[in-house]
Amino acid sequence: MTRYRHGLFIGKFYPPHAGHHAAIRLAAANCDEVTVVVMSSAWETVALADRMSWLRDEHRTEPTVRIAGIPCDAPLDVTDDAVWTAQVAAMTAALRASGAERPVDAVYCGDAYGEELARRFGAAAVVIRRTAESSTAVRRDLAGRWHHLAPSTRAGLAVRVVVVGAESTGTTTVAERLRSHYANRGGTWADTRCVPEYGRDYTAAKWAARPDQPLTELTWDTGDFDRVAAEQTASEERAARTGSPLLICDTDAFATAVWERRYLGPAARTGQPWTRVPPRAVYLLTDHRGVPWHDDGMREGDLEVRAAMTDWFADALTTAGRSWVLLTGSSAKRLELAVATVDPLLRLGASFGDPLHGPGFEATA
């Protein structure tokens, strides 16, 4: 097979899928270096930066692969020379911005316009054989094509729902029952994960180091909350990469800041960098009212603080501009409201804005 110095692969990658990754690796195997140019338009609802990040993550161990990107709202029309000129100008600018220095001598493409694109770069056209995998198919059936996506793309597209609340208000019960509800759909949904609360394990280990000390007398400092938040987010990301289109979290790093306030009082910080968590579809806040306090051996039982924390969570979420829903009533009613909240968010998360089309681009991926 011919060896090339600099291969070019251009697409929307909306979103990137297994076929894209295979094509990139094919190009990398036959070129000294490969530049992948992601082109986005204003009509598309997955950010250019996200697509580039997902591609970089999947190809992070392939040093000859370079990911570049550029927004481009020029029309699409293979019959119009002015449109060609505008599109190629954007592609060339993306190449320059990426730091690529060698001229392109191979253009990889699976579409009919590949020959003309290569001609405009003065390069050889390398035809990529198309398969049944396509971004169009993914956009039409995200859950059905979920396992055609790389782990980083799945993590980026997963709808994340976080359950928060004060001590003994049923957060874990709601989170686990919500996970079971969606996992019971079967198929891809069977992989729905619930990320457990790391702070509980951390507290148990901290207490085990001082078994002679009552739980209420454990000493906490800011470093404890830094460690809890870091591991909570790391656990969440691991689960997001391997789960279904829905990720349930039994608390998160944002909520850790509220717990820091609970244990450090006036010494608690604000604006901790780890509170900047990945996008969430919604927070579900479990109300303390109507839920009897239950001592499971790891709870402190300060009912006054427990009652106050419901408002602390609500205020913190509101100040941060985050969507939240208060869950009240019986356990069954809380689950019912949670499902009624999550179902339309899942439909929204699986919907994509239509990309630009035009002559010669009627069904491109």
CATH architecture for the domain at 4-140: 3-Layer(aba) Sandwich (3.40)
**C-alpha gyration radius of the chain:** 25
Residue at 123: amino acid letter: A
pLDDT of residue 302: 84
For CA atoms 166, 169, 173, 175, the dihedral sign is negative
The reply to whether 146-349 shares the fold of 4-140 is yes
What CATH number labels 146-349? 3.40.50.300
In 3D space, the residue among 140, 130, 48, 29 whose CA is nearest the CA of residue 94 turns out to be 48
Q: Is 168 exposed, middle or buried (0-12, 13-18, 19+ CB in 10 A)?
A: buried
pLDDT of residue 363: 56
pLDDT of residue 295: 77
In 3D space, the residue among 64, 62, 65, 72 whose CA is nearest the CA of residue 14 turns out to be 72
Domain boundaries, the chain: 4-140, 146-349
In 3D space, the residue among 354, 309, 360, 358 whose CA is nearest the CA of residue 113 turns out to be 360
Is the whole-model pTM more than 0.75?
Answer: yes
Residue at 178: amino acid letter: L
pLDDT of residue 357: 87
- pLDDT digits (tens), the chain, 365 positions: 679 999 999 999 999 999 999 999 999 999 999 999 999 999 999 999 999 999 999 999 999 999 999 999 999 999 999 999 999 999 999 999 999 999 999 999 999 999 999 999 999 999 998 887 899 999 999 999 999 999 999 999 999 999 999 999 999 999 999 999 999 999 999 999 999 999 999 999 999 999 899 988 999 999 999 999 999 999 999 999 999 999 999 999 999 999 999 999 999 999 999 999 999 999 999 999 999 888 776 677 789 999 999 999 999 999 999 999 999 999 999 999 999 999 999 999 999 999 988 888 765 55
Six-digit token string for 186: 């079967």
- Cα(70)–Cα(236) distance, integer angstroms: 30
Task: Decide if 5 contacts 121 (C-beta within 8 A).
Answer: no
Instruction: List C-alpha distances in Å: 20 to 25, 99, 114, 337.
Output: 9, 22, 16, 39
